[in-house]
Structure 1
Amino acid sequence: MRSPLPLVRLPPLNGLEAFEAVARHGGFSKAADALSITQSAVSHRIAQLEWLLGVRLFVRVGHSVSLTAQGSEFLAHVRSGLDSLRSGLVVLGGAQAQVIRLSLPPALASNWLVQRLGGFQRRHPEINLEINVTSRFLDFRSGEVDVGLRFGRGDWPGLDAIELLRVRIFPVCSPAYRNAHPWLKTPADLARATLLRQAVAKWKPWFTAAGLDWPEPRSGPSFSEVALLIDAAEYAQGIALVLSALVERQLAAGTLVRLFDVEQESERAYYIVTAAGEAPRPEVAALVDWLRSSG
């Protein structure tokens, strides 16, 4: 039988939450934004926690902070305890599950979000996500969506936009396609290759970055969705021009390989968007905060 732990006076919960938030965001300012309190309030809670524990949890250098060895060890216990408490509240019905409607395009959903969803569910078991995968811009005012992920310049009327992912653009193909076309040595060799097309990433700007004065291709399969373009490249149907954030998994797994060293910095990015001029519900703020930390 396991021996009971000695009774120890627990520090205030808001101090533990502040400690976890500062550790997660790497600074007091971002932690304050996540907790919807002032930076001075975060500093006060951390100072009180350190005084109660009798140890330093952070090393402060200018505007940045890092965990001490004792802080790193303590963090694992704090996160486990907070997660367990949240789960317990849900089980006992003390916290009614909240619903958030998240909208995002198919390629970002399948190639970026799904690999990370478990982290949000572990951190916020009290929140249910309704995920709408669509390339259509849904209406925030009608309640179709609470949070959206969009690709663009961040200037949508009536919406607040926070940059999530900057992207680079480069060509990829499957190992089988590259092996079947061993003459693919330089960008100029693309003149003989099958180029897969999609409206999100046009070929001509990348041609220019590669020093090629070529027009936009008019031949080769054209896809309405980026996700299909990536699938076609994996199935050795040709060479695709892709956004870096959407092919991390395929490059790591070796189902796609990069061609050449030339890449184009996109003027657009993926953004988190919410309705402008409205204070977000706590559960919406929690999702936005998690997305920002995952980007």
Structure 2
Amino acid sequence: MKMSKQFPLNALRVFEAAARLGSFTKAGEELGMTQTAVSYQIKLIEQNVGEPLFLRRPRQVTLTEVGQRLAPKVTEGFAMLQDAVASARDDAQTALLISSTATFASQWFARNIGTFQLAHPNIAVRLAASDSMVDYSKEGVDVGIRSGTGSWPGLVSHRLMTVEFTPMLSPALAATIGGVNEPRDLLKLRIIGPQDPWWPLWFRAAGVEDPDLDGRPATRLGGQSFEAGAAIAGQGVAILTPDFYADDVALGRLYQPFDLRCSDGHDYWLVYPHARRNVAKIRSFRDWILGEFERRNGIGAAAMTSPVAGEAYPLDSTD
């Protein structure tokens, strides 16, 4: 019968122990095997090699010339495997992969993630900005920032901030029509992203029932941060989350003409798999980001749902 040229990993492990210890009995004790089982595994390798690897003497075994050439290479191979596993384990423990919506990533993470890194220098943060839904069971993501109602099967959800929206534009653009004095004045200007569902909601709340947005060019710039940039450049009026643009308002680059803010019930949530809720790096990030929002806005830790029909439970639950 033709023998396989590939050795079972367990047989090589047995050979390495026997060669290192110079004894089948001691190898068996180290590996939790009987001496008979050790002998069987050694014979499997010898059959594959076609040469004896040990000289068997009463109460002693010594390596043959072939065994002496093979042993250091097997030892080196197992050392490399151990290093690879240790490296993978260290990466898994110290690298935190965050999936975030593009807007939250650019308008909040980019400005604040440095404080987390200072507090946790041993955790390497990797940020993937995308508005696509992530499958946490397949994509290796540790935590995510999602926009929605907070109810996703299998995920723990913490509300970070209520998302409100309102029209914003540059003061220079407002001046071109003598100022924006009432909501309908906005329709004298170019509307950025007129098909955005936020626009009809806001106009309706402002008492404008017929803004005729469908007749305008269907321009979408692919993200709120891009639309904000266009508004700052005087290219039109954008409907934005004003909490993200306080600095631009303070610097006079953006202008919020009306106090009216609306919400469609979709807020920003921190999410992570329920099964991984006690992983150290996830708990560290959770505690940090909830603390940031609680400190700044007085919200955060109190708003939490479990993966079962939005059922509430305490923040420090470990069940």
Sort the TM-score into its range (normalised by shorter chain).
0.5 to 0.7
Alpha-carbon separation, structure 1, partners of 2:271 and 2:209: 37
* TM-score of the two chains, using structure 1 as the length reference: 0.63
Larger radius of gyration: 2
1:175 aligns to 2:171 (yes or no): yes
Specify the SS of the correspondent of 2:192: strand
Instruction: Show the counterpart of 2:228.
Output: 230
Instruction: Show the counterpart of 1:247.
Output: 245
Alpha-carbon separation, structure 2, partners of 1:241 and 1:212: 15
Mapped contact 1:112–1:245 kept (Cα < 8 A) = no
In structure 2, relative to structure 1, the CA distance for the partners of 1:263 and 1:122 (3 Å cut) is: same
Mapped contact 1:104–1:150 kept (Cα < 8 A) = yes
In structure 2, relative to structure 1, the CA distance for the partners of 1:264 and 1:232 (3 Å cut) is: same
Instruction: Show the counterpart of 1:122.
Output: 118
Unaligned runs of 5+ in 1: 1-94
Instruction: Show the counterpart of 1:62.
Output: none
2:96 corresponds to which of 87, 95, 100:
100
Mapped contact 1:171–1:259 kept (Cα < 8 A) = yes
Instruction: Show the counterpart of 1:278.
Output: 276
Instruction: Show the counterpart of 2:286.
Output: 288
1:57-90 CA distance string (max 9 Å, x none) = xxxxxxxxxxxxxxxxxxxxxxxxxxxxxxxxxx
1:30-77 CA distance string (max 9 Å, x none) = xxxxxxxxxxxxxxxxxxxxxxxxxxxxxxxxxxxxxxxxxxxxxxxx
Specify the SS of the correspondent of 1:114: helix
Instruction: Show the counterpart of 1:145.
Output: 141
Q: CA-atom RMSD, angstroms?
A: 2.1
| Mapping of residues 211-230 of structure 1, within 5 Å | 211-214=207-210, 217-218=213-214, 219-220=216-217, 221-230=219-228
| Mapping of residues 8-87 of structure 1, within 5 Å | none
Mapped contact 1:167–1:244 kept (Cα < 8 A) = no
In structure 2, relative to structure 1, the CA distance for the partners of 1:293 and 1:201 (3 Å cut) is: farther
* TM-score of the two chains, using structure 2 as the length reference: 0.59
Q: How many residues align?
A: 201
Specify the SS of the correspondent of 1:184: coil
Mapped contact 1:146–1:274 kept (Cα < 8 A) = yes
2:130 corresponds to which of 134, 147, 150:
134
| Mapping of residues 154-173 of structure 1, within 5 Å | 154-173=150-169
